[in-house]
Amino acid sequence: MKRFFGNLLVIALFAAVVSFFAAPAVAFFAIRSAADANDAAGLERLVDYGAVRQSLRPQLTGNPAAIAPAPSFLEDPIGTVRRQLEPAVTGAPDPDVYLTPAALAALSRGEGRYASQRTGAVAAAEAADPMPKPVFWGVNRARMAVSDDGGSKTVFTFERKGPFEWKLVHIGLPDGVSPAVRPTAATQ
């Protein structure tokens, strides 16, 4: 009997360790499933929308200076005053186009910057389900990448919120600019 409980304890410990390491992949597939089902409540539990919006803004403007934090008044007083007097950037792309359920589903399938044009669910015959590849795994942060046919990678960064709970906090879009019109098979 003692051996039985010892084996049971080893199996339970092994299952907990496997669950601990597999949790980011489970979160990725949960986002894909919730996006496919248009489950806004499920996506709300899995995605930190504020952090993802903040991560997308500099990528959409194409301004590398927007990624770096602005220097303080003590470091660059003239630059700080100039930034305060400059008009706000208008016409900056809206990151919310990438945060709709259809766009999140497209991003999880490796559509990259074309995901912003996705307005409805992907047809079952058209849907590709590429497997995410771990790019980085740490105790509190993990990155999963999905590649498209051309090799461009969309990177999803998850952050630990509990022992087995992970939230999407960053989406790294492939290099380039968002396309105006998605090419169709006839135009390629």
Q: pLDDT tens across 143-174, in order? A: 999 988 778 899 999 999 887 789 999 999 98
Q: What is the pLDDT of residue 90?
A: 52
Of 128 and 77, more confident: 77
| CB-based contacts of 116-124 (< 8 A; 24+ apart in sequence) | 116/178, 117/179, 117/181, 117/182, 121/36, 121/38, 122/36
Cα 57 versus chain centre, distance? 13
User: Residues 20, 107, 44, 123: is their CA dihedral positive or negative?
Assistant: negative
Identify the band that residue 184 occupies on the pLDDT scale cut at 50, 70 and 90.
very low
pTM: 0.71
Stronger pLDDT, 126 or 30, i.e. the higher one: 30
pLDDT band at 187 (very low <50, low <70, confident <90, very high): very low
Rg (CA), the chain: 21
- Distances in whole angstroms, Cα of residue 170 to Cα of each of 4, 64, 96, 166: 45, 17, 13, 12
Q: Return the pLDDT at 108.
A: 92
Enclosing H/E stretch for 172: strand 166-172
Amino acid of residue 23: A
CA distance 33 to 144: 16
Predicted confidence at residue 165, as pLDDT, reads 84
- Specify which residues 136 forms β-bridges with: 143
Tens of pLDDT, residues 30-58: 999 999 999 999 999 999 999 999 888 88
Q: Look at residue 77 in the predicted model and tell me its pLDDT.
A: 81
pLDDT for the residue numbered 144: 93
pLDDT tens-digit map of 56-94: 888 887 665 554 555 666 777 887 777 777 655 555 678
> What's residue 91's pLDDT?
56
Question: Cα separation of 26 and 104, whole Å?
Answer: 16
Q: Which residues contact 177 (CB under 8 A, 6 or more apart)?
A: 62, 113
Give the pLDDT of residue 122. Answer: 59
12-29 pLDDT per residue, tens: 888 877 777 788 889 999
In the predicted structure, residue 7 carries a pLDDT above the cut 80: yes
